[in-house]
Amino acid sequence: MKVVQLLDSLLIHLGKYTSLRLLEKEFEVQEQDEKRAKAHFCSFFVVDAFGRSAVDSGLTALFLSFPPTPVGSPMPEFCLSSLHGYNGYKLKTRCGEGSCIGSSVGICYGRNADDLPTPDKASQLAQLHKIKYVRIYDSNVQVLKAFANTGIELMIGIPNSDLLSISQFQTNADTWLKNSILPYYPATKITYISVGAEVTEAPTSIAAMVVPAMKNVYTALRKAGLQRRIKVSSTHSMGVLSRSYPPSAGAFNSSHAFFLKPLLDFLAENQSPFMINLYPYYAYRDSQNKVSLDYALFESSSEVIDPNTGLLYTNMFDSQIDAIYFSLMALNYRTIKVMVTETGWPSKGSPKETAATPDNAQTYNTNLIRHVINNTGTPAKPGAELDVYIFSLFNENRKPGLESERNWGLFYPDQTSVYNIDFDGKGAVDMTPETNVTSSNGTWCIASSTASEEDLKNALNWACNSGNVDCTAIQPSQACYEPDSLVSHASYAFNSYYQQNGATDIACGFGGSGVKTNKNPSYDKCLYMTAGSNRTAANNVPAKPSTSYSTHNEVPLLGFCCLLMIFISFCM
């Protein structure tokens, strides 16, 4: 049986037929490759400890490079029976049982203001609220250092003003990478580089520089061996489309074809996402009452029908996403993933911007988060993975334009919340950090954000062993386990040792990895020890001290070998 016949039967099992003709054309291979195709197909259902599929975890080269199958139904029995129980992996459909691999919500950290807290405090705020993905608009050194060893994934930006230099000469891109990225990576977990921003809104000459700059940045990454770990793309506004309604009629503006075609070729070739800044708020505000507020806020009880496809839409967000997908498909780009690099709702506006209120902002962002983490997908892409960044972390008082432009933040510059929201999607909670609580001696000890990962690991292991610190609270399912980052876990252990040993400067040394603070780092049910206490803080479950500390997210090489052995035995 040929591979095409096998995949035909698999896709029939899933009720999917969209890829068959492509497969028939590209993969007319012989019978002996059937086993590899079968194993590759099943591997899309395997999720490692990072939450990534086995294919995404570095096993791609071991399988045929078929396009990812749009799985949205239970795993076939032959996969389940063969892979069940594999140590280090769990089985899950890519978009089944309320969890889609890779769907995530992050935050945009803009700094166009003169009253913002330091990057260190912004980083602490993000960690406090379990924000795991942050977009910044440049490669500011202080910001990169602030997010080091936090586990937070960063998207960094190359401003339009730098495109000329980077697009002209490869050496300029090499130098930029050497100076702006390599000194801080991997301690700072950079995963995306956005080359330019909304260039279709800028002069034509700027747009012409984007793809050459992207290619030079990619080449620089390849020279450093990072091209697979850091993806390169460019962000766009909805102005890149000439038409977005109905979604199925979505089309790119022909005036941008001169740079869009090579850009899309680059994205497809390198498996990078198409980045879009998407704002239902503007669609509502400028619609002259043609769009209802409920439809823009994910609150509509009625449906809008796409007359060409019969697809039903209950919100503007999905409609705009699908307009992008249909625009891509119209140009025969069917494998490019869409990523929303900005979306949100302002909490305050000018007198004519009546929809810019805290209540509407809270409603939009709360519903957005639930929509994304529930892996709803869109009508045209049900269950599809979707990464979204909310704009923005802080209000920015120097942004020009209407009043709303300065009021997109979830937080005021003093770090108090503009309104309550929950990044877990479980409901609104108070996001204001505790700032008025002090210990009996007024200080705590936390991990330095500039310490190296190796130094933090060594110091943490020492504290939890030789230092006799009870590290139970930072183990999985315990009160201080989240946010799951080395800096957070080390901070808890450092402080416990510090308080148990007289709260002296020496007790917060840790080889330079510890720093003192007069702000209580406690959060939620994770209460940091205070001076004079020799036990786990209240609400933190006490238990036998941990003998060692290791990041739980490390999948041993043996695990990969076991997976391969299972595939081989299954396919025989």
The helix/strand/coil state of 72 is coil
User: Which are the contacts of 310, defined by CB distance < 8 A and separation ≥ 6?
Assistant: none
Active site residue 198: yes
Q: How many CB atoms lie within 10 A of CB 219?
A: 16
Catalytic residue among 34, 153, 198, 396: 198
Q: How many CB atoms lie within 10 A of CB 67?
A: 13
Within 271-403, where are the H helices?
A: 280-285, 293-296, 316-330, 358-373
Angle 257-270/204-223 helices, nearest 10 degrees?
A: 20
Phi, psi of 233 (to 5 degrees): -155, -165
Our CA angle for 529, 530, 532, nearest 5°, is 115
The helix/strand/coil state of 304 is strand
Q: SS3 sequence, 82-104?
A: HHCCCCCCEECCCEECCEECCCE
What is the rounded CA–CA span in Å between residue 486 and residue 496? 15
Which burial class, exposed, middle or buried, applies to 262 when counting CB atoms under 10 A from its CB (0-12, 13-18, 19+)? Answer: middle
Output the furthest CA–CA distance in the chain (Å, rounded).
75
Contact 156, 136 (CB under 8 A): yes
What is the rounded CA–CA span in Å between residue 283 and residue 286? 6
Q: Left if phi > 0, otherwise alpha if psi is -120 to 50, otherwise beta: which for 261? A: alpha
What is the rounded CA–CA span in Å between residue 40 and residue 174? 36
Catalytic residue among 342, 353, 403, 482: 342
Angle 34-43/557-571 helices, nearest 10 degrees?
A: 130
Q: 436-466 burial by CB neighbour count: b if 16+ within 10 A, else e?
A: eeebeeebbbbbbbebeeebbbebbbbbbee
- Give the start-end residues of each E strand in 201-354: 231-237, 241-243, 251-252, 274-277, 304-305, 312-313, 338-343
- Residues assigned a catalytic role: 198, 342
